[in-house]
Amino acid sequence: MSVTGDSASEFGDDYLSDEYQSSDDPDWEVPIKRTKIQQANGQHIVNWSRNNTNLSYLDKVDKVIDAVVRRFTDLGSEDDADEDDADDNKTDDGEIIWDVADGSSLKRFHFTENDIGIKSEFYEEYKNKDPYDFFKIFVTDSIVKHMARQTNMYAKQTARRIKKSKGHVKAWIPTNCAEMEKFLGIILWMGLMKLPRLKAYWSTSILYATKIKHAMPRHRFEQLLQMWYFNGNKGGDIHNAKLRKLTPLVQKLTERFQYVLKPGSDVCIDETLVPFRGCLESNQYRKDKRHITFGIKMYKLCTSRGYTYNLKIYCGKTREESASTNVVFSLMDTLLDTGRTLYTDDYYTSVSLASQLLQRKTHLVGTVRSNRKYNSKSVVNKELKKNEVFAEESGTGIVMLKWRDTHDDVLMLSTQHKVDVVPVRQRGKEINKPQAVIDYNKSKSCVDLSDQLESYSHCLGKGTKWYRKLAVELIFGPALVNSYLMFKDVTHSKISITEYKEKLALTLLKKR
C-alpha cells in the first residue's frame, strides 16, 4: 500500500491491500466488485457491490476498514497521541463561550483538609535522630527484608535454570538484611565518588585506590547486583504486567510517602526521566530535558517543598486511557474534593481537564498549548506588545490569558486567578506580570527542586536491567530526598543534600 501526500486520498489510488483480506472464511470467497477509495466531505469511503449481500459480510468489511484506520493512527508520535487524548476529554456543556475576564464566573473552594504537613509524632520521636533513621522511615526494615528474600529466591531459581553453574551462580551465598543495606550504601557512595567504570572502585591503582574493598569484595557486590530482585514471577499488579517486577517496591514506598505527610493546598505534577538506553517499549525521548533526553518516564506529584507524595511510572500507551488526564486523576486520587490547587505544564493542561477538576472541587493553573480543544481563539490569536496581557473568561469559571514576556508569548489557563497584574523586579527593571504566572512559577519550582536534589549518577554499567536501575532511582531519588526534607524540617538542620548523603552512606557501609 502506498501513502503519498500528493494524492486526493490518504490511500492514493490503491485498493485495500491483500494484507487485510481473509482467505479462510467462505464469505470472502463470494465474488465482489471493489472500487477505489475516494474522499468525500472529508471522509474516506469504499464502494462495494455484489449480487448477494448479507449483514455478516458488511460487518467484516467494516472491520477491515477499522483495521486500516487503526494502523495509520498508530503511526503517530507520543506527543500527537497525548494531544488527541486531551482533545477527547470534552466538557458536558459542548462549545465553550468566552467573554470578558472580570472574575465573575470563578468558583471559590474552601480548603477543608486538616492536619497538613508531617505527622506530629515524628517531631517528638525523631528530633535527635540522624540521617540513617530518617532514611529508614521510608526504606523500612520490611522493604529491606523483602529485597533480601526475593534476591535469595531469584538466585536459587537461576541456579536451577542454568545446568552448568558458573561464577556468581555457583558461589552464591544467601544474603541478609545487614548485607543488603551495605549493598545499598555502596551504590549511594558510588554516586558521590564518581569513577569511570565499576571495576575502578576496587582497583589497586594509585589513581583509583579506595577502601571500599574492606566493606565488600567486588565479586560479592557483582553477585548481589546480578541477583538483586523485588518480585517473583507470580503475582504483582495484574492490571500493569509491565511493572510487575517492581510493583511491591513502588507500592511500599508510595504508602510510606503518603503516611508520613499530608500535602497543603498547592500541589504540582510533572514528569522526570530515569536514564536508560536499553531496549524497552516504554522508553521515552524528550529533547526538552536538558541533562537526560532518553529514559523511563516517571510522573510525580510534589508539594510546594519538593516532597514527592505520589508517583506513577509510564509503562507504554494503552488504548483505553487518556494519557495526561489519567495521570492527573491517578496521582490526585486521595487529594480531590478538598479545595486544593493543582499546577501543571502544557502536557496536561486543557479546558477539558479544568472542567473535570472543577467538578471535584479542585482548581487548575498551568501553561496550555495553543492548539488545545476549546481554547479561546481570541486569546490564542491575539498579538501583544511586550508585557501586555489579554484574557477571556468562560461561563464555567475558566480564565485563559496571554502575556507577552521579553521574547515569547505565555499562554496560561487558570480556574483560580483573575487578570491581576503585579509589578515585579526582573533583571533590575520593574515589569508587570500576571499573578497567575507568578504563582505558577513558584509552584513549578518545587518539582525543579525535587529533580535537583535527586540528581544522582552511578556506575552500574550498560548491562544492568531496567528494573534495577529504576529501583536505584526510586530509593536514592524520591525516598532519599523525602527523608532529607523531613530531616531538615524536624531537626532544623541546615546541612546540604551532599552532606546528608555522606552521613547516610557511612552508616550503611558500617552495617554488619
3-state DSSP of 250-305: HHHHHHHHHHHEECCCEEEEEEEEEECCCCCCCEEECCCCCCCCEEEEEEEEEECC
pLDDT of residue 184: 97
pLDDT of residue 451: 74
Show the cell assigned to 449. Answer: 527542586
* Position 88 pLDDT exceeds 90: no
pLDDT of residue 445: 80
* Position 298 pLDDT exceeds 50: yes
pLDDT of residue 491: 97
- pLDDT digit string, tens, across residues 349-375: 999 999 999 999 999 999 999 999 999
* Position 40 pLDDT exceeds 60: no
User: Which backbone phi and psi does 303 adopt, to 5 degrees?
Assistant: -85, 180
Mean pLDDT along residues 68-97: 48
Q: Which residues contact 191 (CB under 8 A, 6 or more apart)?
A: 456, 457, 458, 476, 501
Phi-psi region of 43 (alpha: psi -120 to 50; beta: other; left: phi over 0): beta
* Position 424 pLDDT exceeds 80: yes
* Angle, CA 236 vertex, CA 232 and CA 241 arms, to 5°: 105
User: Which letter does DSSP use for residue 478 in this model?
Assistant: I
pLDDT of residue 319: 52
Mean pLDDT along residues 281-298: 54
Mean pLDDT along residues 115-124: 94
* Position 410 pLDDT exceeds 80: yes
Question: 72-76, 131-135, 201-205: which range is least confident on average?
Answer: 72-76
Which H or E run contains 148?
helix 141-161
Angstrom distance (rounded) from CA 450 to CA 462: 26
* Position 309 pLDDT exceeds 80: yes
Mean pLDDT along residues 253-257: 97
> In this predicted model, which residue has the larger pLDDT, 26 or 502?
502
CA dihedral 272, 278, 279, 284 (to 10 degrees): 20
295: confidence class by pLDDT, cuts 50, 70, 90? confident
pLDDT of residue 282: 44
Query: Which of 127-136, 443-452, 460-469 reaches the highest mean pLDDT?
Result: 127-136
pLDDT of residue 479: 96
pLDDT of residue 33: 46
Angstrom distance (rounded) from CA 246 to CA 229: 9
**Grid-cell match 500528493, residue found:** 6
Cα atoms found within 13 Å of the Cα of residue 152, Cβ hemisphere only: 12
> In this predicted model, which residue has the larger pLDDT, 134 or 19?
134
pLDDT of residue 78: 43
What are the C-alpha distances in Å from 489 to residues 155, 261, 316, 482, 484? 41, 12, 37, 11, 9
pTM above threshold 0.75: yes
pLDDT of residue 92: 47
Angstrom distance (rounded) from CA 479 to CA 494: 19
pLDDT of residue 446: 74
* Position 443 pLDDT exceeds 50: yes
Q: Helical H runs in 359-434?
A: 377-381
* Position 308 pLDDT exceeds 80: yes
Which residues face 276 on adjacent strands? none
70: confidence class by pLDDT, cuts 50, 70, 90? low
Angstrom distance (rounded) from CA 246 to CA 146: 12
Mean pLDDT along residues 374-385: 94
User: Which backbone phi and psi does 311 adopt, to 5 degrees?
Assistant: -150, 160
Angstrom distance (rounded) from CA 284 to CA 273: 8
What are the C-alpha distances in Å from 354 to residues 26, 36, 344? 52, 44, 11
Percent of the chain having pLDDT more than 70? 71
pLDDT of residue 232: 78
* Position 248 pLDDT exceeds 50: yes
Query: Which of 161-165, 232-236, 486-490 reaches the highest mean pLDDT?
Result: 486-490
Question: 33-42, 140-149, 195-204, 429-438: which range is least confident on average?
Answer: 33-42
Provide the pairing of β-strand 363-367 with 341-344: parallel
> In this predicted model, which residue has the larger pLDDT, 180 or 320?
180
pLDDT of residue 449: 74
Average pLDDT in the chain: 80
What are the C-alpha distances in Å from 62 to residues 47, 51, 74, 391, 476? 12, 19, 18, 46, 52
pLDDT of residue 168: 58
* Position 67 pLDDT exceeds 60: no
**Grid-cell match 548481589, residue found:** 224
Angstrom distance (rounded) from CA 373 to CA 7: 29
Angstrom distance (rounded) from CA 26 to CA 23: 8
Cβ neighbours around 146 below 10 Å, total: 19
Angstrom distance (rounded) from CA 492 to CA 126: 11
Question: 217-226, 283-292, 323-332, 377-386: which range is least confident on average?
Answer: 283-292
Question: 211-220, 330-339, 463-472: which range is least confident on average?
Answer: 463-472
Q: Report which of 298, 314, 299 is spatially closest to residue 243, judged by C-alpha positions.
A: 314
Question: 44-58, 118-132, 393-407: which range is least confident on average?
Answer: 44-58
